[in-house]
Structure 1
Amino acid sequence: MNETINDAVSKLYHKLTDWVESLILLLPNLLIAIVVFLLLYTAGKLIRKGLAKPLHRFVHSRALVDLGLNIISIAFVALGLFVALSIIGLDKAVTSLLAGVGIVGLALGFAFQDIASNFVSGVLMAISKPIQIGDVIQSNDHFGTVININLRSTIIRTMQGQHVHIPNKDIYNKPIVNYSEEGKRRIDLKCGVSYGDDLEKVKRVTIEAVQTIEHILPNEGVTLFFKEFGDSSINFEIRYWVDFKKQPDYLAALSDGIMRIKKAYDENNIMIPFPIRTLDFGIKGGEKLNEQLQTVLSEKANGKHN
C-alpha cells in the first residue's frame, strides 16, 4: 500500500517538475508573444485614431466610417492573437481556432441571412449613394423625405408625418424614384377648353399665364400639346419645369399654375366646359324628354275629361 502511494507521489512530482521546466523554457517566448500582441493592439488603436478624422471628412456616412474603424481594430486584435499563439508554439490551436471561426461565421450567416443582406446593402448604399438625407423619394410604394440612412434600414418621413422604416435590401434591390437628384421637376397639368374657343389663342394665353409662375425655369421652356377631342372639351396638357427641393415647392407651382390659367381664361373669355351628359328617359331610344312629358300630360288631361 505504501509503495503504491509512494509511486503515485513520485509520478506526480516528476509531472509537476516537467511542467515547471516546460514553463521556464516557454517563458521567453511567452513574454515575446505578449509584447507582440500589445504592439499590434496599440498599432490598431493608433491607426484607428489616425484614420478617424480623414474618413469622417471624405465619407458622409458616419455608420460606414464607424464600421470600417471597428473592422480595423478587430483585425489587429485577431492578428495579434494569432501571432502570439504561433510564437508560443500553439500552431494547432491557431488552426482549430480559425476553423471554428469559419464554422461559426457560416452558421451565423444562415441564421441571420436577412440581417446580413440588409447590412451588405447598407454598406453598398453608403458607397454608391443612390439617395441621401433630405432627398424626396418613392420606394416600395412609400413616398416621402429621407431622414436617416443606417446600415440596417432607411427611414423616410411621409407627407403626412409618419416615419417608415424600409430595409436596405428592399431599397437597394428595387427601383427608386429620386425626385431631388436633378434639383428640378416637371409639372404636367391637364385641362380642357370648349369646342367654340380659338385653339391658337388658347395656347398663347395658357403659356403666357404659366410663364409668370414663381420658381419656373425659363431655360427649360413651356410646352403645350392638344391631346384629344373629349366628350365636352378639347383636352390639352401643358408642361413646365420648376425648382424642386421639397414637395411643397412642387405643390405650390402646381397650384399657381391652376390659379393663373383660370384667371387668364376669365379675362380672355375662354371657357373650361362642364361635363355634358344626355339623359334618355323615354321608353324608345331617341325620344326627347319634353315630348314624352307633353304626351303624358295630354293623356292624363284626356282621361280626366272623359
Structure 2
Amino acid sequence: MKDQFNTALGNLIDKLGGWFNAIIENIPNFILAILVMICSYFGAKYVSRLVRKLVENRIEQDSIKNALSRVIAVLVVALGLFIALGVLNLGKALTSLLAGAGVVGLAIGLALQGTIANTFAGLVLSFRKKIQIGNWVETTGYSGEVMDINLKDFTLKEADNNIVIIPNKTILENPLKNYSLTTKMRIFLECGVGYESDLEEVQRITQETIAKTFDQVKSPEDVEFYYTEFGDSSINYLCRFWIDAESMLEKLRAKTKAIIEIKKAYDAAGINIPFPIRTLEFNNKLDIKDSKSVDSGDKQ
C-alpha cells in the first residue's frame, strides 16, 4: 500500500513538473496571446467606430448602424481569439471550437430562418438609395409614408394615420412603387357632359380652367383632353395634366381642387354633367272600378 501511494505521488509530482515546465516554456506564447486579445479588443472598438462613420451618411436608421458596428466588432474579437489559440498551439481546441460553432450556427439558422431573412433584408433595404425614410411608397396593397426601416420590419404610415408594419422579407420580394423618386405626378380626371353640350366649348373651358388653377400648367395646350366614349347618359372624356408633387396626398389634393374648379366653370357656362336616371313606368290598364269588383268577388 505504501509503495502504491509513493508511486502515485511520484506520478503526480512528475505531471505537475511537466505542466510547470510547459508553462515556463510557453510564457512568451501566453504573453503574446494576451497581447493579441488586448489588441483585438481595442481594434474592434476602433473598427466599430470607423464603420459607423462610413455608414453615417448612407443609413439613417440608428438600429442598423448599431447592428453593423456590433457585428464588425464581434468579428474582429473572434479573429483575435483564433489567432491567440493558434499562438498557444491549441490547434485541436481551435478545430473543435470551429466545428462546434458550425453546428450551433446551423441549428440557430434553421430555427430562425424567418428572423434571419428579415434581418438581412433590412440591411439590404437600408443601403438602397431608392427607398428612404420619408418617401411615399405603395407595396403589397398598402400606401403611405416610410416611417422606419429596422432589422425586423418596414413601417408605413397611411393617409388615414394608420401604422402598417410589414416584414422586411416581404418588401424585398414584392414590387414597390415609390412616388417620391420624381418631383412630378400626373393627374387623371374622368368626367362626362350632356349630349346637348358643345364639345369643343367643353374642351376649351376644361383646359383653360386647369391652366388657371395650377401654376405648373403653363398653357391650356399642356392639358391633354380626349373624348373616350358615348356613354349611357353622357359623352365621357379623359383629362390629364402634370403637377409638382412627391406624395399621394398632394396628388389627391390637386385632383380635388381641379374637380371643384371644373364644376364651377361648368355651372357658370351652363354645361350639364348628367347622372344616370332610372324611370319607373307602370302600365296598369286595369280600371279602379274593375279592381274593386275583383276584390269584392274574392271576399265572397
Q: Same fold (TM over 0.5)?
A: yes
Q: Distance in 1 between matches of 2:224 and 2:111?
A: 56
Preserved CA contact (<8 Å) 1:215 1:243: no
Question: Structure 1 residues 300 and 37 mapped into 2: Cα distance closer, same or farther (>3 Å)?
Answer: closer
Residue equivalent to 1:255? 256
Preserved CA contact (<8 Å) 1:213 1:257: yes
SS at match of 1:231: coil
Question: Structure 1 residues 109 and 217 mapped into 2: Cα distance closer, same or farther (>3 Å)?
Answer: farther
Q: Indicate yes or no: 2:232 matched with 1:231.
A: yes
Q: Indicate yes or no: 2:138 matched with 1:138.
A: yes
Q: Give, in angstroms, the shift of residue 275 of structure 1.
A: 1.2
Q: Indicate yes or no: 2:86 matched with 1:95.
A: no
The count of aligned residue pairs is 293
Residue equivalent to 1:281? 282
- Alpha carbon RMSD of aligned pairs, Å? 2.4
Q: Distance in 1 between matches of 2:162 and 2:232?
A: 41
Q: Deviations along 1:126-146, whole A, 9 cap, x unmatched?
A: 122332111122212222111
Residue equivalent to 1:158? 158
Residue equivalent to 1:176? 176
SS at match of 1:21: helix
Q: Give, in angstroms, the shift of residue 200 of structure 1.
A: 0.8
SS at match of 2:164: strand
Q: Indicate yes or no: 2:57 matched with 1:66.
A: no
Q: Give, in angstroms, the shift of residue 58 of structure 1.
A: 4.2
- Give the TM-score normalised by the residue count of structure 2: 0.89
Q: Distance in 2 between matches of 1:141 and 1:66?
A: 31
Preserved CA contact (<8 Å) 1:231 1:276: no
Q: Give, in angstroms, the shift of residue 242 of structure 1.
A: 1.8
Identify the range of structure 1 (221-230 vs 166-175) with the bigger mean alpha-carbon deviation.
221-230
Residue equivalent to 1:211? 211
Residue equivalent to 1:24? 24
Identity score, percent: 38
Question: Structure 1 residues 298 and 78 mapped into 2: Cα distance closer, same or farther (>3 Å)?
Answer: same
Identify the range of structure 1 (46-55 vs 164-173) with the bigger mean alpha-carbon deviation.
46-55
Preserved CA contact (<8 Å) 2:63 2:151: yes
Q: Distance in 2 between matches of 1:12 and 1:198?
A: 115
Question: Structure 1 residues 131 and 49 mapped into 2: Cα distance closer, same or farther (>3 Å)?
Answer: closer
Q: Gaps spanning 5+ residues in structure 1: where?
A: 283-291
Preserved CA contact (<8 Å) 1:147 1:156: yes
Letter in 2 for 1:40: S
Q: Give, in angstroms, the shift of residue 49 of structure 1.
A: 2.5
Q: Distance in 2 between matches of 1:153 and 1:222?
A: 41
Q: Give, in angstroms, the shift of residue 173 of structure 1.
A: 0.5
Preserved CA contact (<8 Å) 2:159 2:249: no
Q: Gaps spanning 5+ residues in structure 2: where?
A: 295-300
Preserved CA contact (<8 Å) 1:194 1:273: yes
Q: Indicate yes or no: 2:79 matched with 1:79.
A: yes
Identify the range of structure 1 (215-224 vs 195-204) with the bigger mean alpha-carbon deviation.
215-224
Letter in 1 for 2:287: V
Q: Give, in angstroms, the shift of residue 215 of structure 1.
A: 5.4
Q: Distance in 2 between matches of 1:77 and 1:2?
A: 52
Q: Distance in 2 between matches of 1:57 and 1:235?
A: 51
Q: Distance in 1 between matches of 2:198 and 2:234?
A: 12
Question: Structure 1 residues 300 and 81 mapped into 2: Cα distance closer, same or farther (>3 Å)?
Answer: closer
Question: Structure 1 residues 5 and 301 mapped into 2: Cα distance closer, same or farther (>3 Å)?
Answer: closer
Q: Deviations along 1:208-252, whole A, 9 cap, x unmatched?
A: 111222454448921111111111111112112222234432222
Preserved CA contact (<8 Å) 1:223 1:239: yes
Letter in 2 for 1:66: N
SS at match of 1:71: helix
Preserved CA contact (<8 Å) 1:213 1:253: no
Residue equivalent to 1:287? none
